[in-house]
């Protein structure tokens, strides 16, 4: 029934089977671009706050080769999949790990849909599906497995937004919007132990490969503060790491000018934030030390 629904029913009738429609197609372009990358200076990874915050073109002007492997609603479980899949080959000198609080309370259903729809880390996704028993995720896995068998040479169409949100290169999505849009104040949950465990495991993996990392909370608007119910628990977790940097409130950024919604910067904000962060890394010798090696 899942396969028949996926093949013949319109999207509006497939409530528990999204399968590519209405999801972020930029991830496929990222993976294609990543094939030509190796020996990076800096790898950015995390949620949409990663791929909409770090512009490789700005880092180019400072002499650093970078790639942005952020994806929509990327949970720590999915960060781990990407790290194990690509870190051994691209060998970054430094990993900037974006740690938006909500990703600790996210059940990963959206990322499961994206990864399965585009065959990202497919072999590892079986374990994720088994650990995260969810109707939508199970349906996506069944349908993705069917499509891999039925259409082994399927050429997935990439449809990129070329108006305000533009995929540039090396994983970065530029948002040129100059207007601020209010988003629904959706209910935020408590931090999940599964995501905390995955987060710790990711850091241990990077340490096992002797790859330095920086944990970073990207800038958000003032109104975004206080909307996370587990703030104290999050702060306690981050306090365990000396290399955590909190830019959630950056006074150089103005809510109505440098953001296009409550928690994502527009390009004006990105162009202010990136040089500030680069200088922070330079002052701490994290960039220079790695480049000299």
Domain ranges of the chain: 26-107+163-292
pLDDT of 187: 56
Q: Which of 227, 240, 226 lies closest to 196, judged by CA?
A: 240
Q: For residue 109, what is the enclosing H or E element?
A: helix 109-117
CATH of 26-107+163-292, one of 3.40.50.1000, 3.40.50.980, 3.40.50.2000, 3.40.50.1110: 3.40.50.1110
pLDDT of 292: 44
Q: How far is CA 100 from CA 10, 59, 62, 123, 246, in A?
A: 34, 22, 26, 27, 10
pLDDT of 210: 95
Whole-structure pTM value: 0.88
Q: Report how far apart the first and last C-alpha atoms of the chain are (Å, whole number).
A: 56
pLDDT tens-digit map of 125-151? 988 888 777 888 898 899 888 888 888
Cα–Cα distance measured from residue 126 to residue 130, given in angstroms and rounded to the nearest whole number = 6
pLDDT of 182: 65
Q: What are the average pLDDT values for consecutive 10-residue runs of the chain, which has 293 residues?
A: 86 74 66 84 93 92 93 92 93 95 90 85 87 83 88 64 65 72 65 95 96 95 76 94 93 86 88 95 75 44
pLDDT of 55: 92
pLDDT tens-digit map of 197-222? 999 999 999 999 999 999 999 999 88
């Amino acid at each position: 029934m899942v396969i028949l629904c996926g093949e013949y029913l319109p999207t509006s009738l497939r409530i528990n089977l999204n399968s590519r429609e209405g999801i972020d197609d930029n991830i496929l372009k990222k993976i294609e671009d990543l094939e030509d990358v190796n020996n990076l200076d800096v790898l950015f990874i995390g949620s949409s706050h990663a791929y909409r915050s770090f512009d490789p073109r700005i880092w180019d002007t400072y002499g650093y080769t970078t790639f942005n492997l952020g994806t929509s609603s990327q949970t720590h479980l999915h960060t781990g999949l990407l790290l194990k899949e690509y870190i051994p080959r691209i060998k970054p000198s430094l990993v900037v790990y974006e740690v938006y609080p909500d990703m600790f309370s996210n059940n990963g259903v959206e990322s499961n849909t994206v990864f399965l729809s585009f065959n990202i880390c497919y072999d590892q996704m079986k374990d994720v599906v088994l650990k995260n028993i969810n109707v939508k995720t199970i349906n996506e896995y069944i349908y993705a497995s069917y499509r891999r068998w039925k259409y082994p040479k399927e050429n997935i169409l990439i449809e990129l937004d070329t108006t305000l949100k533009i995929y540039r290169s090396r994983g970065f999505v530029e948002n040129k919007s100059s207007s601020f849009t209010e988003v629904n104040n959706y209910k935020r949950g408590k931090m999940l132990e599964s995501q905390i465990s995955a987060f710790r495991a990711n850091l241990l993996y990077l340490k096992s490969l002797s790859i330095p990392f920086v944990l970073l909370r990207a800038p958000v608007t003032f109104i975004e503060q206080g909307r996370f119910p587990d703030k104290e628990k999050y702060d306690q977790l981050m306090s365990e790491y000396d290399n955590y940097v909190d830019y959630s409130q950056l006074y150089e950024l103005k809510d109505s000018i440098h953001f296009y919604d409550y928690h994502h910067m527009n390009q004006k904000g990105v162009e202010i934030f990136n040089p500030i962060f680069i200088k922070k890394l330079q002052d701490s010798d994290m960039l220079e030390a790695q480049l000299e090696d």
